[in-house]
Copies of this chain bind each other. A is one copy, B any other.
Amino acid sequence: MAKEKSETPRFICGLHATLHVINGKWKPLILFFLNKGPTRYGELKRSVRGVSDKMLIQQLKELESDGIVRRTDYGEIPLRVDYSLTPFGMSLVHAMEPLCGWGAAHEEDIAAAMDRRPTSR
C-alpha cells in the first residue's frame, strides 16, 4: 500500500467524465430550472415536481461539491437560501444544449423506445 493513490481514474472520453457530473435522477431537471436564474430552495422544490427534500438536497449538495451550483445563504432572519449556477455550471449547461436539442427533436422516438423496454425503465 504505497502507490494506490490516483491510479489513473481518468475517463475514456470527455463524455464519460461529464456523465459522472450530471447523473442523478433529478440533476438535469435542477440544472434546467437553475438555468433560468437563482432559485430559492422551496421554489426549486415546487418546480421539480415529485422530488423529496432528501433527494433535492442530496443532488444539490453533489452539484455544489462539483462546482456546478452555488448555495447562497443570506443569513437573514426568516431563513433564506438560494441556489444558482456557477460560471462552470453555466458552461456545462451550455455544452448540454445540443443534446437537449437532440432529445427534444426525437422525444417521441425516445418515448416509444422507452415503452418498448421490458421493465419500462
Is there contact, CB below 8 Å, between A121 and B17?
A: no
Kindly state whether residue A42 has any CB partner on chain B within 8 Å: no
Asked if A97 is at the interface of the complex by the 8 Å CB criterion, the answer is yes
A66→B118 CA distance, assembly (Å): 12
Distance between Cα atoms of A21 and B9 in the complex (Å) = 25
Give chain B residues whose Cβ lies under 8 Å from the Cβ of A55.
none
Are A103 and B29 neighbours in the complex by a CB distance under 8 Å?
no
Q: Inside 8 A of A29's CB, which chain B residues have their CB? A: 12-13, 16
Residue in B18, B62, B104, B113 whose beta carbon sits within 8 Å of that of A103 in the complex: B18
Q: A19-B28, A22-B19, A28-B19 are contacts. A13–B100 as well, Cβ < 8 Å?
A: yes
Chain B residue nearest in CB terms to A117: B65
- Counting from the closest, the 9 A-B pairs by CB-CB distance are A14-B103, A14-B104, A18-B103, A95-B102, A17-B103, A14-B100, A66-B113, A15-B100, A95-B98
Since A15-B28, A88-B109 are in contact, a sample of 9 more A-B pairs with Cβ atoms closer than 8 Å, ordered by chain A residue number, is: A6-B111, A10-B107, A12-B29, A13-B32, A14-B101, A14-B102, A18-B110, A20-B110, A62-B117
